Amino acid sequence: MSETNVTPPTPVAGSRSTTSAAGRRPIVKVVFASLIGTAVEWYDFFLYGSAAALVFGTLFFPKSEPVTATLLAFGTYALGFVARPLGGIVFGHFGDRVGRKRMLVASLLLMGLATFAIGLLPTYKSIGVAAPVLLLVCRLLQGFAVGGEWGGAVLMAAEHGDDEHRGFWSSWPQAGVALGNLLATGVLWIMAAVQPDDDFNAWGWRVPFLLSAVLVLVGLWVRLSIEESPVFQETQAELAAKKSGQTHQPLLEVIRRYPREVLLAMGMRMAENIAYYLFTVISITFLTTYAGSAGDKSLILTALVIGSVIQFFAIPLIGALSDRIGRRPLYLVGAVGVAVWAFVFFDLVASRSEPKIILAVVVGLILHALMYAPQAAFFSELFGTSVRYTGASVGYQLASILAGALAPIIAVKLLGTVEESNTRAVAIYMTIASVITIVAVLAARETSRSSLRHDRVTAAVPADRR
């Protein structure tokens, strides 16, 4: 029997928000907490990517020529993605055993400490090779923290919301990612706009990292005020009754009962993840290093600020649309769209015309949003409650190594030399990723409006096993 056809049990009183005004208050509070906390964590994570494209190459790898220095900076950037699956496993394990809320608070604290530390790091000029080593350690901590962030944030929104509007509610943490990038890019844009390059390279780049401490305190205050997921609490009670003291092992259960869903999630992530870094981080490198505008950082940063604002508002609208027409159609349009747009994108950026650069980024981020907005609900609906944090996180974060981590490195290598950049090769790379995503989406079932009260783990354990 299909999981989407299982009739959900009667909810515990007060455990589910309804469509009434009184019932909406809990979900609005949870969604706001997920939005703010996610924005803070991704502000920290994206800040590193923008800084790697702008200044880290010269400050931490000064003995290399420009393209090589950028590749080295992106190398430390990519290692943050390597730590993300480990973070997803660890935070997912405990999130499926002790609760989503505790893990969200822990991930936010760890991310804040790592980002603040980057703002205090001495550069290569001060301490030599120890500088990039310390930068790498901080980046690994960032990756570990953000690996546990995404799954918990989207599950809190999805599991508190009702089935009919899950795409809308769970898309708000996704909008928090756009908001985090907006904050990171916006602060860098302000610093670059009001400072000469020498001052920005000397100390201005540190300010956004140090400001993260304030944002983390705000995020913690909001997250500590929310309640645990009611769907999670129901499943925990059922597991306790059936397993009679046996230790619940979420990762092993995911491998045993949800391997196909993990692979589908990874495939669906490929085009979405690569496209995002193509239209944000790689665009910065292309304009400042390849298109001859190294002295005008504000040009691409302005486009990214505008694009992030538009994407922030587009994501919940697309999430709501996915509740009406389904997750798969929107995802497919986005996957095809980013492949086509990649062939146009670099020519628009290379024009060095501000309107064309803004158009390139805005269209790219809207196409990305067609995949990213329904993704939170889509992935949540693939896995049972007792392993949902682990399953969604592992599928999401494992793909990040193959997609987001390698995208800037592969793109820069494909672009080749500054004198003869090969943008078509990057567009073909994007197209290959899109084909993988299209196949994965077509292989997945439509999950919109299905109940989250399904679980192969609890269903496989007889009730009388005591």
pLDDT tens for 365-380 read: 999 999 999 999 999 9
* C-alpha 20 chain-centroid distance: 31
| Whether residue 329 has pLDDT greater than 80 | yes
The mean pLDDT value for 286-315 works out to 80
Instruction: For residues 145 and 138, give the distance between their C-alpha atoms in angstroms, rounded to a whole number.
Output: 11
Quick check: 11 pLDDT over 60?
A: no
- Give me the pLDDT at residue 458, please: 66
410 assigned to some structural domain = yes
The whole-number pLDDT of residue 377 equals 94
* pLDDT over threshold 80, residue 333: yes
| pLDDT score, position 345 | 94
**What percent of the chain is modeled with pLDDT above 70?**
87
pLDDT given at position 417 = 75
pLDDT at residue 81 in the model: 75
What is the tally of structural domains in the chain? 1
d(CA 429, CA 413): 11
1 found inside a domain: no
Residue 226: closest CA among 10, 452, 36, 22: 36
pLDDT value at position 1? 36
The yes-or-no verdict on residue 113 having pLDDT over 70 is yes
pLDDT at 462: 57
Q: Which of 296, 313, 307 is nearest to 353 (CA)?
A: 296
Angstrom distance (rounded) from CA 216 to CA 142: 13
**What pLDDT is stored for residue 463 in this prediction?**
53
For residue 419, the 8-state DSSP code is T
* Lowest mean pLDDT across 307-311, 337-341, 447-451: 447-451
Residue 3 lies in a domain: no
pLDDT of residue 22: 45
Cβ atoms < 10 Å from Cβ of 35? 24
Please, are residues 434 and 339 in contact by the beta-carbon 8 Å criterion? yes
Q: Which of 73, 87, 97 is nearest to 385 (CA)?
A: 97
Does residue 194 sit within a domain? yes
Hey, is 294 helix, strand or coil? coil
* pLDDT at residue 456 is higher than 80: no
CA dihedral of residues 141, 147, 153, 156 (deg, nearest 10): -120
Cβ–Cβ under 8 Å, residues 349 and 291:
yes
* pLDDT above 90 coverage of the chain, percent: 30
User: Which residues have C-beta within 8 Å of that of residue 206, sequence separation ≥ 6?
Assistant: 119, 120
- pLDDT tops 80 at residue 43: yes
3-state SS class at 38: helix
CA distance 268 to 245: 37
Q: What are phi and psi of 438, to 5 degrees?
A: -60, -45
Q: Tell me the pLDDT tens digit for each residue of 177-201.
A: 888 888 887 887 787 778 777 787 7
> What pLDDT, in 10s, does the model give residues 406-429?
888 888 889 887 677 788 999 999
The predicted pLDDT at position 16 comes to 39
Assess contact for 429 and 110: CB atoms under 8 A: no
Tokens 């001859």 locate to 292
User: What is the model's pLDDT at position 461?
Assistant: 59
Residue 157 lies in a domain: yes
CA–CA separation, 150 vs 392, rounded Å?
A: 9
HSE on the CB side for 377, CA within 13 Å?
A: 37
Residue 395 Cα to chain centre, angstroms: 12
Do the domain assignments include residue 143?
yes
Quote the domain boundaries for residue 408. 25-460
Q: What is the mean pLDDT of residues 423-442?
A: 96
The SS3 assignment for 386 reads helix
Mean pLDDT rounded to a whole number for the chain: 83
Tell me if 377 sits within 8 A of 444, measured CB to CB.
no
Q: Is residue 13 part of a domain?
A: no
pLDDT of res. 9: 41
Eight-class DSSP state of 286: I
Q: What is the DSSP letter of 292?
A: S
Q: What is the pLDDT of residue 66?
A: 66
The pLDDT, as a whole number, for residue 13 is 38
Instruction: Give yes or no for a contact between 318 and 330, defined as CB atoms under 8 angstroms apart.
Output: yes
Residue 96 C-beta-side C-alpha neighbours within 13 Å: 29
Which residue type is seen at 10?
A: T
Domain containing 97 — which CATH number?
1.20.1250.20
Q: Predicted confidence band at 148 (pLDDT cuts at 50, 70, 90)?
A: confident
**Residue 379 domain flag:** yes
Q: Is there a contact between 368 and 356 (Cβ–Cβ < 8 Å)?
A: no
pLDDT at 293 over 60: no
For residue 201, CA distances in Å to 116, 161, 205 come to 17, 45, 6
At residue 14, the pLDDT reads 39
In whole angstroms, give the CA distance from residue 402 to residue 269. Answer: 10
Tokens in use for 289? 């290093």
Q: Which residue has the higher pLDDT, 26 or 434?
A: 434
